[in-house]
Amino acid sequence: MELSFYLVQLLNAVQYGFLLFLVASGLTLRFGIMGIINLAHGSFYMVGAYLAYWLTDLTGSFWLAILLGLPIALGVGYLVERFAISFLYQRDHLYQVLLTFALILVFNELQQILWGTDVHGVVIPEILAGSIPLTDNQSYPVYRLFISAACIAIACGMYWVIQKTRLGMMIRAGASNREMVQALGIDVNRLFAFVFSLGVALAAFAGMLAAPVDSVYPGMGENVLIISFVVVVIGGTGSIKGTFVGAMLIGLVSTFGKVLLPEMASIMVYALMAIILLWRPHGLFGRAV
């Protein structure tokens, strides 16, 4: 195999890593700030993909679908936080696991009622439909580059919000000491609702971006969910930097695993996690809890 082949795989790995980063950052923010474990996170990824499919069909434009879909996802996130998650902040993780597990069942069923069980595809928008030739017989689709670019933009935006704004200051403070933030007079409920909805929107956005390259099918969120857990565990909960490193590691291992050792690919990801945790029980950038 030649160099360009590895280059293509490397680009794929990075793109997959970026998508994972989008999904997992929502998870890690919630662990860090709200102390909430949310299994239904994968469902929001699925909701995003289905919104992209449905709205593209309806409006005829992928861009319009994203534009309309994001507020819907934010709204769904807000409702779920208000009517389910907000009751669980003081409760044991066990109840959070159980309630969000039940939410998965509910979301899966709602998805089947609304959109059926067929597998759908979303057409790549025309501007991005081409591909860039690398060698005589290898080329790379522009859309995948676009995914990476969009994710980089979001990551930079998140970095800016979290490091440079007042809101980000509250988020960081919330992650390090929730009670103190509350004592300083910050409305933690509003902060939590915002962080939760933001996480939902990020997961849905990742689902929308992935819809044209991956097909849209029932249960598509669940694999993403568990891999995102692995990413969060490797990176250390609450650490955006750790999540980024974890997502890239998983992207590389799973993409190259599929090419080099197809039978072991899925296991390698978990084995990597086990090794990292044996070495650092709280993840690469996590703190002891």
Where along the sequence are the contacts to another protein (CB under 8 A)? 31, 35, 37, 39, 84, 87-88, 91-95, 97-99, 101-106, 108-110, 112-113, 222, 226, 229-230, 232-233, 237, 263-267, 270-271, 273-274, 277-278, 281-283, 289
Q: How far is the CB of 96 from another protein (least distance, A)?
A: 9
CB-CB contact of 225 with 107 (8 Å)? no
Q: How far is the CB of 227 from another protein (least distance, A)?
A: 9
**Which lies closer to another protein via its Cβ, residue 48 or residue 257?**
257
Assigned token pair, 116: 């059926």
**Which lies closer to another protein via its Cβ, residue 118 or residue 263?**
263
Phi/psi at 109 (nearest 5 deg)? Answer: -70, -40
Distances (CA, A) of 163 to 23, 28, 46, 158: 20, 16, 30, 8
Q: How far is the CB of 180 from another protein (least distance, A)?
A: 20
CB-CB contact of 238 with 286 (8 Å)? yes
Q: How far is the CB of 264 from another protein (least distance, A)?
A: 8
**Which lies closer to another protein via its Cβ, residue 55 or residue 103?**
103
**Which lies closer to another protein via its Cβ, residue 84 or residue 173?**
84
Q: Of 261, 286, 260, which is closest to residue 273 (Cα–Cα)?
A: 286
Q: How far is the CB of 40 from another protein (least distance, A)?
A: 10
* Strands 139-141 vs 131-133: parallel, antiparallel or unpaired: antiparallel
**Which lies closer to another protein via its Cβ, residue 189 or residue 223?**
223
Distances (CA, A) of 34 to 6, 17, 222: 40, 25, 22
